Amino acid sequence: MAELGPTTNNAADAADAKGGPGGGRTKDDVALDLMKFIAVNAGYGKSGQASAGFSAKAGTRSPEELAEDLLSLFDRCRKVVNKEV
């Protein structure tokens, strides 16, 4: 039988990776989830299919243009999440 190495506390490792005690989410994590929510609900990247009041633009867009738009949306989401109230 193989010997097991020393046990590690994966919860503590995950907390360190998330940037805070207790595994709290970083502002970038929240902004990313917000961006995903907006993109999915707006039907972003789906051609020829309108949803939730949004209509697709005429013509096709290149993957580079779609990626640039997603990065722009992520930047806007980060600004909203980091905004002081």
Instruction: Tell me, yes or no, whether 29 lies in a domain.
Output: yes
Phi–psi pair at 22, nearest 5 degrees: 75, 10
Q: pTM of the entire structure? A: 0.58
Domain of residue 33, residue span: 25-82
Instruction: Tell me, yes or no, whether 65 lies in a domain.
Output: yes
pLDDT digits 0-9 by tens, 18-71: 555 556 899 999 999 999 999 999 888 776 555 566 555 555 778 899 999 999
Instruction: Tell me, yes or no, whether 4 lies in a domain.
Output: no
Instruction: Tell me, yes or no, whether 15 lies in a domain.
Output: no
Instruction: Tell me, yes or no, whether 71 lies in a domain.
Output: yes
